[in-house]
Structure 1
Amino acid sequence: MAETAVSFVLQELGQFVIKESCKFAVEERSSVAGIERDFNDIKDELESIHAFLKDADRKASDDGGGGGGSNGVKTWVKQVREASFRIEDVIDYYIMYLEERASHSLFKSVIQMIPGLNTIMNTDHQIVSEIQDIKISLGRIKERSTRFEFRSENEAGSHRGTKAPRIGDPRMAPYFIEETQVVGFESARDELVRCLVEGDNELMLVAVVGMGGLGKTTLAKHVFNNQLVKRSFDCRSFITVSQTYTIRELLTEMIKKFCKDSNEPIPRGLQKMDDEALINQVRQYLESKRYLVLFDDVWKDNFSDEIEHALISNNKGSRIIVTTRKMHVAEYSKRSFPVHVHELQPLPPNKAWELFCNKAFRGLCPTELEEMSREIVQKCGGLPLAIVAIGGLLSTKSKTMFEWEKVSRNLRMELDRNVHLTSLVKILSLSYDDLPYHLKSCMLYFGIYPEDYTINRKRLTRQWMAEGFVRHEEGRTLEEAAEECLTELIQRSLVNVSRGGFDGKVKSCQVHDLLREVIIRKMKDLSFCHLCHKDDEQVTLGITRRFSIAAISNNDLTNTSNSGIRAIFVFDKGESPKQLMDGLSTKFKLLKVLDFENSLLNSIPDNLGNLFHLRYLNLSHTKVTVLPKSIGLLVNLETLDLRQTLVHELPKEINKLTKLRLLPAYYRKYEGHYSMLNFTIGVKMQKGIGSLISLQKLYFLEADHGGKGLIQELKKLKQLRKLGIKNVRREYGDALCEAIQEMDHLESLNIGAIAKDEILDLDLVSAPIHLRVLNLKCKLTKLPKWIPNLKYLVKLRLGLSNFEDDPLDSLKNLPNLLRLNLWDDAFSGERLHFQKGGFHKLKELDLTRLNRLSSVSIDEEALLCLEHFRFNNNPQLKVVPQDLQHLKKLQFLGFADMPVELVDSIDLEKDGPCHWIINHIPLVLIRQKVGSRFHDYELRPIPTQLNI
Structure 2
Amino acid sequence: MAESAIFFLFKQLSVWLQDEQKLLGGLRQEAELIRAEMGQLRAFLRVADAKEESDLQLKEWVRQVREIAYDTEDVLERYILRFAHHPQGFSGYLKRIYTSTKYLTARHEIASEIQAIRSRIQNVSQSQQRYRDMYATMLSGSSSNLATTYTWYDGRGDALLLEETEVVGIEKPKKQLLDWLSSTNYGVEIISVVGMAGLGKTTLIKKVYDDPSLKVNFDHHVWIAVSESFRIEQLLRDIIKQLVEEVKQAPPQGLGAMDDVGMREFIYNFLQNKSYVIVLDDVWRINAWEAVRYAFPRSNTHGRGCIIITTRFNNIANAACSESNGHVYSLKPLTAQDSKELFNRKAFPASSCPPYLKEISESILKRCEGLPLAIVLIGGLLATKNNRIEEWEMFNRSLGSELEEDNLRRMWKLLSLSYYDLPYYLKSCFLYLSIFPEDQLIEKATVIRLWMAEGFVEEKQGKTLEQIAEGYLNELFNRSLLQVAETSRDGRPRNFHIHDLLRECILSKSREQNMIFVNSQGGTKWPDKIRRLALDSSVNYAPQICCFENLRSLLVLGAADSKCVSMWNKVLRSGCRLLKVLELRKAPLETIPSEVFRFYHLRHLSLRETEVKVIPKSIGNLKKLETLDLKGSKVTLLPIEILKLERLRILLAYRYYGGVHAYLQPADVKSFRAPYGIGRLLSLQKLCYIDANEIVVIREIGKLTQLQRLGVTKLRRDHGREFCSSLANLTNLRSLYIYADEGEVLDLQYSLCSTLPFLRCLVLNGRLERIPQWIRSLNALTVLRLSWNRLQNDPLELLQNLPNLLVFGIDCAYEGEGLNFKAGGFQRLKRLILVGLRGLRWVRVEEGSMSRLEELMMRDCKSMGELPGGVEHLRSLQRAWFIDMGEEFVERLCEERRREGDEWKLGHVERVRLLNAVDGVIRSRGIDDNAHRRDDASDADYQDFIGRN
Q: TM-score, normalised by structure 1?
A: 0.89
> Counterparts in 2 of 1:169-208, with a 5 A limit?
169-208=154-193
1:686 lines up with 2:679 in the alignment: no
Call closer, same or farther: CA 1:96–1:12 in 2, change over 3 Å: farther
1:697 lines up with 2:686 in the alignment: yes
2:666, 2:742 within 8 Å by CA — same for their partners in 1? yes
Deviations 1:469-506 (A, max 9, x none): 21222222222211111111111111111112341200
Range moving further from structure 2, 204-213 or 717-726: 204-213
* Cα distance in structure 1, aligned partners of 2:899 and 2:677: 62
Deviations 1:849-902 (A, max 9, x none): 445433333334433333444444445445665555554544454455544444
1:569 lines up with 2:555 in the alignment: yes
1:844, 1:869 within 8 Å by CA — same for their partners in 2? yes
Equivalent position to 1:127, from 97, 110, 114: 110
Call closer, same or farther: CA 1:737–1:465 in 2, change over 3 Å: same
* Cα distance in structure 2, aligned partners of 1:303 and 1:908: 56
| 3-state SS, counterpart of residue 420 of structure 1 | helix
Name the residue aligned to 2:597. 609
* Cα distance in structure 1, aligned partners of 2:527 and 2:502: 26
Deviations 1:701-728 (A, max 9, x none): 1123xx1111111121011122111112
| 3-state SS, counterpart of residue 480 of structure 1 | helix
Name the residue aligned to 1:160. 143
Name the residue aligned to 1:728. 715
Name the residue aligned to 2:214. 229
Call closer, same or farther: CA 1:925–1:875 in 2, change over 3 Å: closer
Name the residue aligned to 1:714. 701
Equivalent position to 2:126, from 143, 148, 156: 143
Name the residue aligned to 1:737. 724
Call closer, same or farther: CA 1:558–1:665 in 2, change over 3 Å: farther
* Cα distance in structure 1, aligned partners of 2:326 and 2:691: 53
1:216, 1:344 within 8 Å by CA — same for their partners in 2? yes
Following superposition, the deviation at residue 246 of structure 1 comes to 2.4
Name the residue aligned to 1:476. 463
Paired AA for residue 378 in structure 1 = K
| 3-state SS, counterpart of residue 404 of structure 2 | helix
1:940 lines up with 2:917 in the alignment: no
* Cα distance in structure 1, aligned partners of 2:262 and 2:882: 68
Range moving further from structure 2, 98-107 or 920-929: 98-107
> Counterparts in 2 of 1:244-259, with a 5 A limit?
244-259=229-244
Following superposition, the deviation at residue 459 of structure 1 comes to 1.0
| 3-state SS, counterpart of residue 841 of structure 1 | coil
> Counterparts in 2 of 1:448-597, with a 5 A limit?
448-533=435-520, 540-551=526-537, 555=541, 560-575=546-561, 579=566, 580-581=568-569, 584=572, 587-597=575-585
| 3-state SS, counterpart of residue 489 of structure 1 | helix
1:845 lines up with 2:829 in the alignment: no
| 3-state SS, counterpart of residue 485 of structure 1 | helix
Name the residue aligned to 1:36. 28
| 3-state SS, counterpart of residue 786 of structure 2 | strand
Name the residue aligned to 2:8. 12
1:466, 1:592 within 8 Å by CA — same for their partners in 2? yes
1:539, 1:560 within 8 Å by CA — same for their partners in 2? no
| 3-state SS, counterpart of residue 678 of structure 1 | helix
Equivalent position to 2:636, from 626, 631, 648: 648
Deviations 1:542-585 (A, max 9, x none): 23321111128865999521322221210242425655257527
Call closer, same or farther: CA 1:799–1:395 in 2, change over 3 Å: closer
Aligned residues: percent identity?
Answer: 34
* Cα distance in structure 1, aligned partners of 2:741 and 2:569: 37
Following superposition, the deviation at residue 696 of structure 1 comes to 1.2
* Cα distance in structure 2, aligned partners of 1:820 and 1:285: 53
* Cα distance in structure 1, aligned partners of 2:260 and 2:538: 63
Name the residue aligned to 1:412. 400
Deviations 1:167-207 (A, max 9, x none): 94422322322333233222323333344454112122322
Aligned residues: 918
Call closer, same or farther: CA 1:254–1:87 in 2, change over 3 Å: same
1:7, 1:437 within 8 Å by CA — same for their partners in 2? yes
1:585, 1:611 within 8 Å by CA — same for their partners in 2? no
Deviations 1:212-266 (A, max 9, x none): 1111222223333333323444443322222223212222233223222221112
Deviations 1:910-948 (A, max 9, x none): 999999666765232433455xxxxx5653343224246
1:366 lines up with 2:353 in the alignment: yes
Paired AA for residue 565 in structure 1 = L
Call closer, same or farther: CA 1:725–1:558 in 2, change over 3 Å: farther
> Counterparts in 2 of 1:339-488, with a 5 A limit?
339-368=326-355, 369-417=357-405, 419-488=406-475
1:858 lines up with 2:845 in the alignment: yes
Equivalent position to 1:828, from 808, 815, 836: 815
Call closer, same or farther: CA 1:32–1:596 in 2, change over 3 Å: closer
* Cα distance in structure 1, aligned partners of 2:612 and 2:543: 21
1:926 lines up with 2:915 in the alignment: yes
Name the residue aligned to 1:802. 790
1:17, 1:36 within 8 Å by CA — same for their partners in 2? no
1:53 lines up with 2:45 in the alignment: yes
1:760 lines up with 2:743 in the alignment: no
Name the residue aligned to 2:939. none
Deviations 1:340-389 (A, max 9, x none): 32222212223222322222222542332344333322321111111111
Call closer, same or farther: CA 1:586–1:295 in 2, change over 3 Å: same
Following superposition, the deviation at residue 86 of structure 1 comes to 0.5
| 3-state SS, counterpart of residue 122 of structure 1 | helix
Structure 1: gaps of 5 or more residues: 63-68, 112-117, 931-935
Call closer, same or farther: CA 1:760–1:196 in 2, change over 3 Å: closer
Call closer, same or farther: CA 1:398–1:120 in 2, change over 3 Å: farther
Paired AA for residue 265 in structure 1 = A
| 3-state SS, counterpart of residue 924 of structure 2 | strand
Call closer, same or farther: CA 1:169–1:823 in 2, change over 3 Å: closer
| 3-state SS, counterpart of residue 318 of structure 1 | strand
1:263 lines up with 2:255 in the alignment: no
1:330, 1:339 within 8 Å by CA — same for their partners in 2? no
Following superposition, the deviation at residue 96 of structure 1 comes to 3.9
* Cα distance in structure 2, aligned partners of 1:897 and 1:768: 37
Call closer, same or farther: CA 1:274–1:909 in 2, change over 3 Å: closer
Following superposition, the deviation at residue 790 of structure 1 comes to 1.8
Call closer, same or farther: CA 1:216–1:853 in 2, change over 3 Å: closer
Name the residue aligned to 2:771. 783
2:3, 2:45 within 8 Å by CA — same for their partners in 1? no
Paired AA for residue 41 in structure 1 = L
Deviations 1:398-441 (A, max 9, x none): 12333222222221121122x22011101011111100111111
Structure 2: gaps of 5 or more residues: 936-949
Call closer, same or farther: CA 1:333–1:924 in 2, change over 3 Å: closer
Q: Compute the RMSD of aligned alpha carbons.
A: 3.5
2:549, 2:574 within 8 Å by CA — same for their partners in 1? no
2:667, 2:742 within 8 Å by CA — same for their partners in 1? no
Following superposition, the deviation at residue 447 of structure 1 comes to 1.4
1:770, 1:792 within 8 Å by CA — same for their partners in 2? yes
Following superposition, the deviation at residue 803 of structure 1 comes to 2.8
Q: TM-score, normalised by structure 2?
A: 0.89
Call closer, same or farther: CA 1:504–1:672 in 2, change over 3 Å: closer
Call closer, same or farther: CA 1:732–1:198 in 2, change over 3 Å: closer
* Cα distance in structure 2, aligned partners of 1:436 and 1:44: 22
Paired AA for residue 512 in structure 2 = D
* Cα distance in structure 2, aligned partners of 1:530 and 1:108: 38
Following superposition, the deviation at residue 446 of structure 1 comes to 2.3
